[in-house]
Structure 1
Amino acid sequence: MELNMKDYFKVVRRRWWLIAAIVALACGATATYDYYFPNAIYEANSKLIVTNSGQNSMTARPDMNEINSNIMLIETYKEIIATPAIMEKVVQQYPDIRMDAAKLSESVRVESSKGSQVMSISIQDPSLDQAVMIVNAVAEVFKQEVPQIMSVNNITILSEAKKSDHSHPVSYGMLMKSLIAFGLSLFLALGLVFLLEFLDDSIKTEEDVELYLGLPTLANVTRIRKARVQKNTEGSKKKRVGESIHVGIHR
């Protein structure tokens, strides 16, 4: 059976209460959970630059070959940061992190822009203090360990993470979460409604009789409201009483 746009609207109108109930329940549950269990997430980041070993950037002329070499090294450094050689050192030197090397490696994210010598180390955590401490610790330990691992000293910390720079959480607020819940629940509710309509093989209209049974419609019994039936019944009683009075007087 092919449905046109009017049929879709009829399906939605017939089960609008189910759609409204699902959407209201989802939005209400989301808002309640966010109110009683707020889970703000903070992100802190520190930036490192890969420079030429021993180069004074204020006086030396830039060597494009060395710059390109440093840019190529960044991909290697991004892999080194996440290895146990760095993470275990971080955990040992900063016991306040309260996180093992494997978990720390999963939490830290290292990014770099194409063609840039700058790397960004970032981490997200429910505690702003913890996020700032971890990202600065990783940057400092990585800077210390690179000369031993790569036999070069070309890492400089451009900027350390500061609480004042990351005071706003990066997680979604209640309004955004409610909007997301509204969109997802509406999508799921519509899907459920059309699924129920597809599984429902009962005959509701005269069009269904012709479509499913292939028979012509000979009569149509419409639904009458209870109030209208009562009104017609009372009117009939009054009419019969009036007729009886009229007949009595005539006699």
Structure 2
Amino acid sequence: MEENTIRQTDEIEIDLWEICLVLIHNLALIVSVGIMVALGAFLFTQLLVTPSYESTTKIYILNKQENSAVTYSDIQLGTQLTKDYAELIQSRFVLEEVVQGMGLDLTYEQMKEKVSVTTPTDTRILAITVKDKDPVMAMKMANAIREAASVHIMNVMDIQAVNVAETANMPMKKASPSVLKNTFLGGVLGVFLIIAVVLVRYLMDDTIKTPEDVEKYLQLSTLAVIPLNEGEADGKKKKKKVKRS
């Protein structure tokens, strides 16, 4: 039993080593394909994909009575209500008002896909982010949503004031797509694909190439190897030339 286990382990090690040799032998091909696919991903992202820009504005909401001190319960309650505020910001009432006010050719669903609302942990600050292909339009829509949402929140939640923590600015850098990321992923994908092709071709090839293959797969020992003499080799080369001509 132990001898059989050792033999099986040796065969597995030999197979893995052969696979490594196959990959090393095709290293130039693997690298070339990886570079070509990475270059293709770079050109596709740079030339064909339309970039998007993000602009963010922030508001601060504090629910307190006029001329009264801010207590810890006020802050804690406000933190719990931030999800309610986020829903109101993305409500149909607010977004359709912005669409009509700016004269945009967008439905409510299309507008909602452009808007995201986030809240930093343990804060009462709401960040309203708008994503659009036009950086100027992204800034204008973010500020318009902030103004419409502030009024809507005060009316619905009976809030006395919604303070502007930060106005939206025109984004100078595109938010997506990431050229570097797509190029890297394209290169990695190309490398994995060509490795898969090389390994499949190797595993599907069951031809006998060396005396070691005879002993390994046919369980036969080779007594001698007959080399191809120079005369036969030259004759084969001449035949190939005649056929081509």
TM-score, normalised by the number of residues in structure 2: 0.76
Question: Aligned pair in 2 of structure 1 residues 14, 64: CA closer, same or farther (>3 Å)?
Answer: same
Question: Aligned pair in 2 of structure 1 residues 10, 49: CA closer, same or farther (>3 Å)?
Answer: same
| 25, 31, 36: which one aligns with 2:42 | 31
Instruction: Give 2:164's aligned amino acid.
Output: I
Instruction: Give 1:129's aligned amino acid.
Output: V
Residue 220 of structure 1, CA deviation:
4.1
Helix, strand or coil at the partner of 1:130: helix
Residue 203 of structure 1, CA deviation:
2.9
Structure 2 equivalent of residue 248 of structure 1: none
Residue 32 of structure 1, CA deviation:
3.0
Where do 5+ consecutive residues of structure 1 fail to align? 231-251
Separation of aligned partners in 1, 2:134 and 2:66: 38
Matched length: 221
Q: Deviations over 1:7-53 (max 9, x none)?
A: 23211134335424422331232233345336333211011112124
Note if 1:73 corresponds to 2:81: yes
Whether the aligned pair in 2 keeps the contact of 1:84 and 1:101 (CA below 8 Å) is yes
Question: Aligned pair in 2 of structure 1 residues 196, 124: CA closer, same or farther (>3 Å)?
Answer: farther
Residue 101 of structure 1, CA deviation:
0.9
Which has the greater radius of gyration? Answer: 1
Helix, strand or coil at the partner of 2:50: coil
Structure 2 equivalent of residue 128 of structure 1: 135
Separation of aligned partners in 1, 2:71 and 2:177: 45
% identical aligned pairs: 22
Helix, strand or coil at the partner of 1:2: helix
Separation of aligned partners in 1, 2:46 and 2:228: 47
Q: Deviations over 1:87-143 (max 9, x none)?
A: 2222122214x3221011122111111111111111222211111112112211111
Whether the aligned pair in 1 keeps the contact of 2:88 and 2:94 (CA below 8 Å) is yes
Whether the aligned pair in 1 keeps the contact of 2:56 and 2:127 (CA below 8 Å) is yes
Whether the aligned pair in 1 keeps the contact of 2:62 and 2:159 (CA below 8 Å) is no
Separation of aligned partners in 1, 2:169 and 2:38: 36
Separation of aligned partners in 2, 1:73 and 1:12: 58
Structure 1 equivalent of residue 19 of structure 2: 8
| 111, 114, 131: which one aligns with 2:118 | 111
Separation of aligned partners in 2, 1:175 and 1:3: 38
| 201, 208, 211: which one aligns with 1:203 | 208
Separation of aligned partners in 1, 2:182 and 2:217: 44
Question: Aligned pair in 2 of structure 1 residues 223, 14: CA closer, same or farther (>3 Å)?
Answer: farther
Separation of aligned partners in 2, 1:62 and 1:223: 97
Separation of aligned partners in 1, 2:91 and 2:130: 16
Helix, strand or coil at the partner of 1:218: coil
Separation of aligned partners in 2, 1:39 and 1:219: 67
Where do 5+ consecutive residues of structure 2 fail to align? 1-10, 235-245
Please identify, of 9-18 and 133-142, the stretch whose mean Cα deviation from structure 2 is larger: 9-18
Structure 1 equivalent of residue 241 of structure 2: none
